[in-house]
Structure 1
Amino acid sequence: MNRLILILLLPLCLLSTALAAETAEEKGLAIAEEMDRRDTGWGDQTARMEMILRNRRGDESRRQIRVRTLEVENDGDKSLTIFDHPRDVKGTAFLSYTHALKPDEQWLYLPALKRVKRIASRNKSGPFMGSEFAYEDMTSQEVPKYSYRFLREEEVGGRKTLVIERYPQYEYSGYTRQVVWIDSGMYRPVKVEFYDRKDSLLKTLTLSGYHRYLDRYWRPDEMHMINHQTGKQTTLRWSDYRFRTGLTSRDFDKNSLKRAH
């Protein structure tokens, strides 16, 4: 009799496990969608950025950069990154069109060669301008680019966070998965762990110094990426955020790369 009950209960246990897994996926997706909803409607923004590169020995080099971004309805953002200093990278410009479902488009203008180089999709995992950020890290994180799973709630620095796992759905990603800690108040990421194609921890990104703009949109002052496998680090320090400056899609065509200075 007991054996019969166990046999009857077994499918229920399996069903319960399946529903729990589905619930975790649905909850992870819902969190990602809420993050996206809260950061929609800002239109365009400009900012200044200092990029600090550190090698394993702690030696530093610094770059001064301007960033312009355009929000595109029903698609990913367009962004233009312009290097102003030092002299060896001055005039270098990076243009990125993020897409939700189709492959992103990216171009790099190299002033020394006076030509525009297209970044191939299969090279998106490569380092961006010698930093610990990959080309694929320099795109907006559109919801359909990943599948999701909720992991747990956890405190980070005294703040409550929601921890989700996301799995890249786009081709040629350098990551098998990312674990993201999301502040449960502002619904912005405070930490991201990146796992390489062998599913080993590759990098950790921490975001800090968040401020709210236009009474709604949160932006960090600092983003710090450490590569655990090489010991190298890159810090991005952001300042002078400005919103709704009147940028249009014409400011993000391929000719804008050569005009950027």
Structure 2
Amino acid sequence: MGMHKSVLLAFALCCGGAWAAGNAERGLEVAREMDARDKGFGDYRMAMAMTLRDKQGSLSVRQMQGAVYETAKDGDKSLIVFQAPNDIRGTAFLTFAHGNRPDDQWLYLPAIKRTKRIASDNRMGSFMGSEFAFEDMGSQELDKYNYRLLGEEKLGDIAAFKLERTPKAEGSGYSRQVVWVDAQRYIPLRIDYYDRKNEPLKTLLYGAYQQFKNKYWRAEKMEMQNQQNGKSTTIAYSGYQFQVGVTEDHFDPQRLEHAH
């Protein structure tokens, strides 16, 4: 190879590496801004209606109550308690989210009066028959992923950053996720999930955002569409109440049978 070509190749390799590093840093900046804008909410409660659709269009609806508690040095704690239908009433799901390791999760089943811990190798299991996996139900902590900015594009009429994030945990069920982030509000609009073979698996769509306390944005609708099995699950959120005095004691894996 001649000197001229060698110099050109070295320049291309150098610039390519710098471009990749730059996009990683820019992706992390977007993720940091998302995280920073949602800090300080303290706690909140909400009602949830989860609608399961099979590929024939048959529906099944479940009613739940949820609570979230923001911790100072770790991920959020969240609790979901099922209210209806009667056959699953009292079922409770507790998550302690973490940034640098898999979340801790427990599921209380009133039919057998037993709380079981969700094993880390079962995080891709279906959450209560829905298209949401256990892995999807924790908060999206900043340190869970490596980031890369893929570019900017419109999603509908909303200008968005297109962000790729790769789970750091080896046991994750996803090879990567592509997230569209509202470029003004820094909130997620859509997430495409890819399975361990890097094939498209699911798409999560966020809708009907509302702002609370003049700062915190929450979606009133989330729809998870599974490309591989044709099923979908929609969660409708209502009755958000922020800073209502939910304490950390509310999130006790030893007392899930009494959760409310």
Aligned residues: 260
Shift of 1:131: 0.2
Question: Could you say which residue in structure 1 is the equivalent of 2:37?
Answer: 38
Q: Which amino acid aligns with 1:171?
A: E
Alignment of 1:60-209 (within 5 A): 60-209=59-208
TM-score (norm 2): 0.98
Offset, 1:101: 1.0
Match of residue 237 from structure 2: 238
For the aligned residue pairs, the C-alpha RMSD in angstroms reads 1.1
Residue 127 of structure 2 aligns to a residue in which SS?
A: coil
2:78 aligned counterpart, secondary structure: strand
Which secondary structure does the structure 2 equivalent of 1:127 belong to?
coil
Correspondence for 1:211: 210
Identity level (%): 48
Query: Is residue 11 of structure 1 aligned with residue 39 of structure 2?
Result: no
- Separation in 1 of the partners of 2:117 and 2:37? 32
Aligned partners of 1:134, 1:142: CA distance in 2, in Å?
16
TM-aligned CA deviation for residue 102 of structure 1: 2.4
Q: Distance in 1 between matches of 2:102 and 2:204?
A: 24
Tell me if the contact between 1:125 and 1:172 (Cα under 8 Å) persists in the aligned partners: no
What is the aligned partner in structure 1 of residue 58 from structure 2? 59
Q: Secondary structure at the match of 1:28?
A: helix
Separation (CA, whole Å) in 2 of partners of 1:127 and 1:104: 16
- In structure 1, distance between residues paired with 2:32 and 2:213: 21
How big is the shift at 1:6?
2.4
When normalised by structure 1's length, the TM-score is 0.97
Give the match for residue 21 of structure 2: 22
Misfit runs of 4+, over 3 Å: none
CA offsets 1:43-75 (integer angstroms, 9 cap, x no match): 001000000000010000100000000001121
Task: After TM superposition, give the deviation of residue 247 of structure 1 in Å.
Answer: 1.1
TM-aligned CA deviation for residue 157 of structure 1? 1.4
**Contact 1:39-1:217 within 8 A present in 2 as well:** yes
SS at match of 2:169: coil
Distance 1:260 1:10 in 2: 63
Cα distance in 2 between the residues matched to 1:75 and 1:248: 15
